[in-house]
Structure 1
Amino acid sequence: MKKMILTFSTGLLILAAHGQQTQGRVVYERTLKIHIDMEGMGEAPMRPMPSTHKDKWEVLFGNNQSLRRAVEDDTPEEMTEVPDGGPRMHMITPGENEITYHNFTTGQTVEQLEFAARNYIITDSIPHRNWKLTGETTTILNYPCQQAIAQLIGKRRMTSVENGEMKSQEVADTSRIIAWFTPAIPVPAGPEYQGELPGLILGLEVGDGRVIYQAVEVTEQADLAAVKAPSKGKKLSAREFEAEREKMLEAMQKDAKRRGAVLRIGG
């Protein structure tokens, strides 16, 4: 049988046979750790808040392309509040209205983001990190998987409440990404970091466990007509979007005390 040799950034080699699955649908369960700093809230009691939040995502892949989007969930909105006029909080999970498209032939990624009730289209190139194979293996949904790790260097947003006022700021973030991918499906798709590994990602741990994805279903059938770049929204570069978002966040923070604090989790 002929073999296809895939080179990796570390110089290691992976063998994948021809004729394997190259299209399908994956459903992932995402678990987000919740962190909030409530300094300045005094002695007002608050109902216990959950330490994690779970939701589901799907990835459709085929024709050397992929599409990632949230799976609709009828679970009631999670919220908590402080009695006697304290701030009422509802949880907004990162990316819940996001659609991400990748074209692995052109190396292009297109994101549709919703922020402050506005849609944005962000076009960029697929980044490449220095992934390293550890030699560790496991099985997920009967697929043999290999472990790869990379360092995540960037920023993440922290939200705190001080003296009744919500504050949000970006902080430096250096952590580790752990991915489990299967060469049995030689498509570089996944819930995040698409286009970077020589196989479908079935398990992913980001930011030392702050975000965890676990595949719960893999099928060979997919609506490939849906795998296309989104186009609904204001078109901006990544840098332009970040600048606009910062301005809008400042305005939202000024109004947070009157409306009630918004708790963002997992990012």
Structure 2
Amino acid sequence: MKNIIYFFAAALSMLTVKAQDFQGVATYESKTSMEDMKKFSGNNKEITPEMQKMIEERLKPMFEKTFTLTFDRTASTYEEEEKLGAPGDQMAQGFKMMGSLFGGGGKHYKNVKAKTMLQEKDIFGKEFLVSDSLPSIKWVMGSESKKIGNYTCYKATAVVPVDKSNMMNYRPKKGAEEELKKKSEDEMKKTNFMDMVEMPTERTITAWYTPEIPVNQGPANYWGLPGLILEVSDDKTVLLCSKVVLNPKEKSEIKAPKKGEKVTQAEFAEIMAKKMQEMQEMGGGPGSGRRRFGG
């Protein structure tokens, strides 16, 4: 009986999706582990437990975000919901400026039919439009299932290249934590922490998709499964769908962004690497780059 009910529910969903003007809106909550950051700051003798707690609270907007995916059968836009800080909050403004370094940015557009993507990016005042082909993801389909909200979801895994333009993907080098513990306070002040981290080349992701919404869309650059991806995670970040609205009363126009200097993903990663090298030579982290890009 349960299988019959599931079959009719899935069939009804497919009919809904096949409607000519079909559209859906999904909300995703993103959480990224702060463990790597804690490893470094915990070895800084100048940071008290109270300061550590305050830093973590201030960093939460970069590690906990909300995104909206607006999709139809062929295209989608994915955007971060902007959270307003207190007026005059200089630290909050500084974190906002670092948004692109940590995977933030403007509108992210995918066309799964044409297999193309466009994403707005801003690096310290200079706007870019990253334009490229959608990454080909070789999914390994699993038989495990679970419920996310009212939807039955199935597991799939894949090994994907790491986005080298996203600082969230850096990880401590082997032995870095032990090396920091041996340093004196004076040595710690002279340490460039970019020398203590590395960028992996690939990562394993786990996705949960629902055939009850049979579109091959998902958050960020994730796509290509026989159903909407409601959850995706790697060893650091989890993106979990908290709400889905199918055929909302007010439709949104799904348009490709046009603002910014057009570059490929590889070109943008190279630009980011040069910017990071600039800041490293200045002896500072992302917060040092308060000047305009190229200034």
Settle same-fold status: TM greater than 0.5: yes
Deviation at 1:101, TM superposition (A): 0.4
Q: 1:138 aligns with which of 140, 146, 162?
A: 146
Q: SS of the residue aligned with 2:224?
A: coil
Shift, 1:115, TM fit: 1.7
Gap regions ≥5 residues in structure 1: 1-15, 81-88, 263-267
d(CA) in 1 for partners of 2:90, 2:137: 35
Contact 2:73 2:215 in 1 (8 A): no
Letter in 2 for 1:180: W
Aligned to 1:235: 262
Matched, 1:44 2:46: yes
Q: Partners of 2:135 and 2:120 in 1: how far apart?
A: 17
The Cα of 1:255 is off from its aligned counterpart by: 3.4
Q: Contact 1:203–1:214 at 8 Å: present in 2 too?
A: yes
CA offset digits 1:53-79 (Å, max 9, x no partner): 311001000151100010122356796
Contact 1:62 1:224 in 2 (8 A): no
Q: Is the 8 A contact 1:20 1:184 kept in 2?
A: no
SS of residue paired to 2:200: strand
Tell me the secondary structure at the aligned position of residue 124 of structure 1.
Answer: strand
What TM-score results when the alignment is normalised by the length of structure 2?
0.69
Higher helix residue share: 2
Cα deviation 1:17-41 (Å, max 9, x = unaligned): 4413352101111001122353897
| CA shift for structure 1 position 185 | 0.7
Check whether the contact 1:27–1:57 (CA below 8 A) recurs between aligned residues: yes
1:191 and 2:187 matched: no
| Aligned match for 2:241, one of 206, 215, 223 | 215
- Deviation sequence 1:231-263 (CA, Å, 0-9, x none): 11011122222222222221122335499568x
Q: CA-to-partner distance for each residue in 1:72-126, whole Å, 9 max, x for gaps?
A: 223567969xxxxxxxx95845233232101122111111111222111111111
Query: What corresponds to 1:172 in structure 2?
Result: 200
Greater shift after overlay, 216-225 or 251-260? 251-260
> 1:133–1:63: structure 2 CA closer, same or farther, 3 Å change rule?
closer
Q: How does 1:153-164 map to 2 (within 5 A)?
A: 153-154=161-162, 156-158=169-171, 163-164=190-191
| SS of corresponding position for 1:215 | strand
Question: Contact conserved, 1:102 with 1:194, CA < 8 A, in 2?
Answer: no
Structure that is richer in strand per residue: 1
Q: How does 1:1-267 map to 2 (within 5 A)?
A: 17=11, 18-21=14-17, 22-34=22-34, 35-36=36-37, 38=40, 43-46=45-48, 47-49=51-53, 50=56, 53-74=63-84, 90=95, 92-93=98-99, 94-154=102-162, 156-158=169-171, 163-167=190-194, 170-206=198-234, 208=235, 210-220=236-246, 221=248, 223-225=251-253, 227-257=254-284
- Unmatched runs of 5 consecutive residues or more in structure 2: 1-9, 181-187, 290-295
1:178 Cα deviation from its structure 2 partner: 0.7
| RMSD between aligned residues | 3.2
